[in-house]
C-alpha cells in the first residue's frame, strides 16, 4: 500500500477544506491536537502551547499543510471490479504484457472485504478537516475522484496510521483466487508465472486475455495449467 501523495493523478484526495465556525469547537480541536502532539505536558504548559495558535486553524495554507501530513500517513490499495478494461490493461499492466490478480472479497473481516467503492463526481468534495477522523469526512477525502475515472469501477482499501498506514500487508493464500495473463505476455514470463502458480499453496484459476477478432475488447479465457 502507498499513500495518495505518490499517486500519478494530482487531483487525488484533494478536497476543499473547511473548519468549524464555532470558536468553542475550534478551541476543543486545538486542545486535542496539542495534547496529541505533546502528550506529557501539564495543563499550564498546554495552555502556553495553545496560546495564539487558534488563528492558524482558519488559515488555508496551514490547513492544507496539516491535511497533506495526514494523507501521507494513510495507506491506500487500489483495486477494480473489472478485469477486461482496455485502458487499465494499457496503463497498469505494462501495455498488456503483465498480469491481473483476482482476489476473493466476499469473506468478512479479511483484507479485500474492506475495500470501499470509490465515489465519482464533477466537483471536489468539501471536507471539514476538524472532523477528518469521522468516517464520513474520512471517506469523502480519500474515496472521491473525477467522473473521468468512472470506467475503472475502483475500490480502495484504506489503512490509517494506527492500522499500519502505508507499507506491506499479508493476506491468507486462499484469498488469491486467479491470475489473468496479459494478451501480449511473453512466453518466458508466462512460463515463470505458471511455475510460480504450480508451487502456490492453494488452487489458483489461470486465465489468458485475448484480443477479440471483431471488436475493440478483451476476451478473458480460462486455460489449463498443464
pLDDT at residue 189, as a whole number: 95
Residue percentage of the chain with pLDDT more than 90: 63
Residue percentage of the chain with pLDDT more than 70: 86
- Tens digit of each residue's pLDDT (9 = 90 or more) over 68-118: 888 899 999 999 999 999 999 999 999 999 999 999 999 999 999 999 999
pLDDT at residue 143, as a whole number: 96
Rounded mean pLDDT of 170-187? 96
Residues 63 and 19: beta-carbon distance below 8 Å = yes
Rounded mean pLDDT of 173-194? 96
pLDDT at residue 226, as a whole number: 44
**What is the reported pTM?**
0.83
pLDDT at residue 103, as a whole number: 97
Residues 206 and 194: beta-carbon distance below 8 Å = yes
Three cell numbers written together for 138: 474520512
Tell me how far apart the alpha carbons of residues 115 and 158 are, in angstroms, rounded to a whole number: 7
Three cell numbers written together for 61: 495554507
Tell me how far apart the alpha carbons of residues 39 and 34 are, in angstroms, rounded to a whole number: 8
pLDDT at residue 142, as a whole number: 95
- Tens digit of each residue's pLDDT (9 = 90 or more) over 2-30: 888 888 888 888 899 888 777 767 667 76
Q: For 174, which DSSP code?
A: G
Can you point out the beta strands (E) in the chain?
16-18, 75-80, 99-103, 116-117, 119-121, 126-128, 144-146, 154-159, 176-181, 205-211, 218-222
pLDDT at residue 58, as a whole number: 65
H or E, element range at 123: none
- Tens digit of each residue's pLDDT (9 = 90 or more) over 126-160: 998 888 888 999 999 999 999 999 999 999 999 99
Amino acid at each position: 500500500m502507498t499513500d495518495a501523495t505518490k499517486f500519478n493523478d494530482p487531483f487525488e484526495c484533494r478536497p476543499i477544506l473547511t473548519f468549524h465556525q464555532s470558536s468553542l469547537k475550534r478551541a476543543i480541536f486545538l486542545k486535542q491536537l496539542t495534547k496529541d502532539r505533546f502528550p506529557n505536558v501539564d495543563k499550564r504548559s498546554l495552555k502556553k502551547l495553545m496560546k495564539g495558535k487558534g488563528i492558524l486553524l482558519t488559515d488555508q495554507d496551514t490547513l492544507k499543510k496539516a491535511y497533506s501530513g495526514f494523507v501521507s500517513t494513510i495507506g491506500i490499495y487500489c483495486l477494480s471490479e473489472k478485469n477486461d478494461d482496455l485502458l487499465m490493461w494499457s496503463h497498469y499492466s505494462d501495455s498488456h504484457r503483465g498480469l491481473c490478480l483476482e482476489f476473493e472479497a466476499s469473506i468478512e473481516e479479511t483484507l479485500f472485504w474492506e475495500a470501499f467503492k470509490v465515489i465519482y463526481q464533477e466537483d471536489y468534495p468539501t471536507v471539514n478537516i476538524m472532523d477528518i477522523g469521522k468516517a464520513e469526512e474520512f471517506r469523502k477525502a480519500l474515496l472521491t475522484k473525477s467522473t473521468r475515472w468512472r470506467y475503472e469501477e475502483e475500490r480502495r482499501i484504506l489503512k490509517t496510521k494506527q492500522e499500519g498506514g502505508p507499507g506491506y500487508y499479508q493476506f491468507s493464500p486462499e484469498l488469491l483466487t486467479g491470475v489473468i495473463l496479459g494478451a501480449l505476455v511473453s512466453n518466458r514470463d508466462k512460463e515463470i508465472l505458471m511455475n510460480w502458480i504450480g508451487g502456490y499453496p492453494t488452487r489458483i484459476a489461470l486465465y489468458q486475455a485475448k484480443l477479440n477478432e471483431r471488436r475493440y475488447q478483451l476476451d478473458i479465457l480460462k486455460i489449463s495449467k498443464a
